[in-house]
């Protein structure tokens, strides 16, 4: 099995260990060079010294390259102090044996072992150092080896040798215990620090996740109103408004920051996007003001829903008035119209009186039509769905409509596919087309061409387009076109398009309008297809 890569802590310790070893080797090379220059010549001990030091540098270089390439097999921490003990023993032998000044390298190897292997490793290296140093001293004492001696050293005597050996070995284990203890403390402190760092990172990640998952835009600002931090929602909402939120952006030019806690609104892109926002002070741990927290939400859809709700309230009020108007106005109108007809037939009025009778009858019929449209709008009948050929329905409705206007003022272009069928209430669909035709003709007294097209959509719905080449509408008229009692021309009742909208709603569809001055108007109606309408009808039956 491949050995696993060392953890970041051991890599850091090993890296520091190699740097320390390189520093010691460089210092030894400098000392050796200075001493050799003072002695003159190139004695044999110095040749072995430089060779051993070069080998130590080579081992350090190999370890460093393996550490950089993440090859843990060549980085066993035990090999590092073992090599140092061997190198120190070679230097001790080259510099006089038991009395060599390089015996001080053993404690450095022990400290290194404590760094890499903790207390147990330091004790093991201290024992290995004591064994190597003791064996070399015994061999030297009994004359089995003769260490090279470039330094003036005392004679090897039993008492001095024993004292020197005991002192050094005691120093080895003392260094091992002290460095091991310190290494353990450093290790425990490092583990606590790593745990604290991990906890801080987790809290930081949690905070970032919470802020970025907020549906509201959040921007932290400095004292000058410039961006310090923002979440994804803030960037997305401003992007919809055509703005790019960049680090350091001055937000005080876009939002008013002078009244913290107050709820405000900001209209962007000529009212297409509406943001509701508020600010709160940004304080540090000492309670010192450092800036502001700006929180905002996209209220565009909310405002549209408010507008629809207000419109629904008006519709509800209209519905409550409808029954009263029907009884209070329609019945007297029928009596009045009948009475005028009787008077006109029973008498022989003069031309002036006959004209007055005609005016009364015409205006009575107009008022009756207004009440009828009002009732259709306020209290639409429930849809009696049936399968219809839309092409035939458009042709028939256009024919009947053209009988009530001058033929030259209305021209119908039927582009509906002959095989297109849909499920709808025939009377309501005729009323919808009739009102749209009338709206086009009344908007263009000089004459108009109305084109009706339709197509089945992939989602199963049927889309119907009713376009004309009339004068079009202003932006204000287009925005309020479906409101009851609003008319863009003099003499209009304001109920034609409102009734169309109500019929489309009753058919569970949607309608939209696109018009510009001088470019005509286009109404787009979406009605559920055969399958969707059948499911809707069955759901309504089950609810009943």
* Residues 433-455, mean pLDDT to the nearest whole number: 88
Name 460's Cβ contacts closer than 8 Å, sequence gap at least 6: 528, 529, 531, 532
Average pLDDT over residues 45-55: 70
| Distance of alpha carbon 536 from the chain centroid | 37
Residue 289 is encoded by which pair of tokens?
């003001």
Identity of the highest mean pLDDT range in 50-54, 135-139, 312-316, 449-453: 449-453
> With pLDDT > 90 as the criterion, what percentage of the chain qualifies?
5
Give the Å distances, CA to CA, from 299 to 237, 259, 264, 270, 364: 10, 20, 11, 14, 47
pTM of the predicted protein model? 0.41
Please tell me the distance from the alpha carbon of residue 43 to that of residue 41, in angstroms, as a whole number: 6
Residue 532: band (very low, low, confident or very high) from pLDDT cuts 50, 70, 90:
very low
Q: 7-11, 87-91, 225-229, 467-471: which has the minimum mean pLDDT?
A: 7-11
Distance CA 174, CA 433 (A): 105
Do residues 424 and 527 touch, judged by C-beta distance below 8 A? Answer: yes
Of these ranges, 80-84, 165-169, 371-375, 413-417, the one predicted with the greatest mean pLDDT is 413-417
In 3-state terms, what secondary structure has residue 177? helix
C-alpha–C-alpha distance, residues 300 and 276, integer Å: 9
- How far apart CA 220 and CA 289 sit, in angstroms, is 12
Mean pLDDT across the stretch 334-359? 71
Residue 23 has pLDDT above 50, yes or no: yes
pLDDT of amino acid 82: 81
Least confident of 73-87, 494-508, 527-541: 527-541
> Among all chains, which residue has been given the structure tokens 């990172």?
201
Residue 198 buriedness (CB in 10 A; 0-12 / 13-18 / 19+): exposed
Q: Which of 104-118, 232-246, 413-427, 486-500 has the highest mean pLDDT?
A: 413-427
Rounded Cα–Cα distance for residues 374 and 326 (Å): 9
SS3 239: helix
Residue 5's pLDDT band (boundaries 50, 70, 90)?
very low
Give the per-residue pLDDT at 537.
42
* Residue 544 pLDDT: 36
Q: For residues 539 and 330, what is the distance between their CA atoms, to the nearest angstrom?
A: 36
| Confidence band of 153 (pLDDT split at 50, 70, 90) | low
Residue 542 has pLDDT above 60, yes or no: no
For 368-390, what is the mean pLDDT? 69
Q: What residues have CB less than 8 Å from 445, skipping those under 6 apart?
A: 409
State the pLDDT at residue 531. 47
Q: Which two tokens stand for residue 419?
A: 């095989």
Instruction: Kindly state the DSSP code that residue 384 receives in the 8-state scheme.
Output: -
Whether the CA torsion 467, 374, 313, 382 is positive or negative: it is negative
Residues in the chain: 544
Inter-axis angle of helices 351-378 and 496-506, nearest 10: 30
Q: Is the pLDDT of residue 255 over 80?
A: yes
278, pLDDT greater than 80: yes
Of the candidates 502, 442, 492, which has an alpha carbon nearest to the alpha carbon of residue 468? 442
pLDDT at residue 452 is higher than 90 = yes
Q: Give a three-class secondary structure readout of 51-85.
A: HHHHHHHHHHHHHHHHHHCCCHHHCCCCHHHHHHH
Q: What is the dihedral of CA 456, 459, 461, 464, to 10 degrees?
A: -50
Q: Which pLDDT score is estimated for 327? A: 58
Q: Which residues of 323-361 are buried (b: 16+ CB within 10 A; e: fewer)?
A: eeebeeeeeeeeeebeebeeebeeeeeeeeeeeebeebe
Residues 478-487: what's their mean pLDDT?
A: 77
Q: Where does 299-420 show beta strands of DSSP type E? A: 385-389, 410-414
Position 538 pLDDT exceeds 50: no
- Our CA angle for 22, 136, 58, nearest 5°, is 25
What letters, b where the CB count within 10 A reaches 16 and e where it falls short, cover 131-152?
Answer: ebbeebbebbbeeeeebbebee
pLDDT of 155-209, one tens digit each?
Answer: 666 677 778 788 888 888 888 888 888 888 888 887 888 888 888 888 888 877 8
> Average model confidence (pLDDT) for the chain?
77
Helix (H) or strand (E) holding 216: none
Confidence at residue 2, expressed as pLDDT on a 0 to 100 scale: 40
């Amino acid at each position: 099995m491949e050995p696993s890569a060392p953890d970041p802590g051991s890599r850091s310790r090993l890296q520091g260990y190699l740097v320390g070893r390189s520093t010691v080797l460089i210092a030894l090379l400098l000392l050796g060079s200075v001493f050799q220059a003072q002695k003159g010549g190139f004695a044999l001990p110095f040749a072995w010294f430089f060779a051993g030091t070069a080998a130590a540098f080579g081992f350090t270089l190999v370890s460093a390259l393996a550490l950089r390439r993440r090859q843990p097999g060549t980085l066993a921490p035990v090999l590092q102090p073992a090599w140092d003990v061997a190198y120190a023993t070679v230097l001790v032998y080259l510099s006089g044996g038991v009395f060599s000044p390089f015996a001080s390298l053993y404690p450095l190897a022990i400290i290194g072992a404590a760094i890499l292997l903790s207390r147990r490793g330091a004790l093991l290296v201290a024992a290995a150092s004591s064994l190597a140093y003791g064996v070399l001293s015994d061999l030297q004492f009994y004359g089995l080896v003769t260490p090279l001696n470039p330094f003036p050293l005392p004679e090897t005597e039993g008492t001095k040798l024993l004292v020197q050996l005991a002192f050094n070995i005691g120093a080895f284990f003392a260094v091992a215990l002290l460095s091991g203890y310190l290494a353990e403390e450093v290790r425990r402190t490092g583990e606590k620090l790593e745990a604290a760092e991990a906890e801080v990172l987790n809290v930081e990640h949690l905070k970032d996740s919470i802020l970025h998952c907020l549906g509201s835009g959040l921007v932290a600002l400095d004292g000058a109103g410039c961006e310090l931090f923002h979440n994804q929602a803030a960037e997305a909402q401003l992007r919809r408004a055509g703005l790019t939120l960049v680090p350091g952006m001055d937000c005080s030019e876009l939002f008013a920051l002078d009244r913290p806690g107050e709820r405000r609104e900001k209209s962007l892109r000529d009212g297409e996007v509406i943001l509701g926002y508020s600010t709160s002070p940004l304080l540090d741990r000492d309670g010192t003001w450092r800036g502001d927290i700006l929180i905002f939400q996209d209220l565009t859809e909310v405002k549209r829903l408010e507008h629809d709700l207000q419109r629904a309230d008006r519709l509800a009020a209209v519905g409550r008035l409808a029954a009263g108007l029907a009884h209070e106005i329609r019945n007297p109108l029928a009596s009045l119209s009948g009475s005028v007809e009787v008077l006109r037939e029973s008498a022989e009025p003069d031309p002036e009186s006959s004209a007055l009778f005609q005016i009364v009858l015409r205006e009575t019929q107009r008022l009756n039509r207004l009440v009828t449209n009002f009732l259709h709008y306020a209290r639409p009948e429930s849809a009696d769905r049936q399968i219809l050929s839309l092409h035939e329905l458009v042709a028939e409705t256009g024919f009947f409509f053209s009988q009530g206007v001058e033929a030259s003022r209305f021209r119908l272009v039927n582009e509906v596919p002959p095989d297109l069928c849909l499920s709808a209430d025939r009377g309501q669909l005729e009323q919808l087309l009739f009102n749209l035709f009338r709206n086009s003709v009344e908007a263009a007294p000089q004459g108009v061409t109305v084109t009706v097209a339709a197509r089945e959509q992939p989602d199963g719905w049927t889309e119907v387009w009713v376009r004309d080449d009339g004068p079009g509408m202003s932006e204000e008229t287009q925005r309020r076109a479906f409101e009851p009692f609003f008319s863009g021309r003099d003499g209009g009742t304001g109920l034609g398009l409102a009734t169309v909208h109500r019929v489309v709603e009753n058919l569970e569809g949607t309608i939209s309008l696109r018009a510009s001055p001088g470019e005509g108007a286009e109404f787009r109606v979406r009605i559920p297809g055969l399958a969707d309408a059948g499911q809707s009808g069955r759901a309504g039956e089950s609810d009943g």
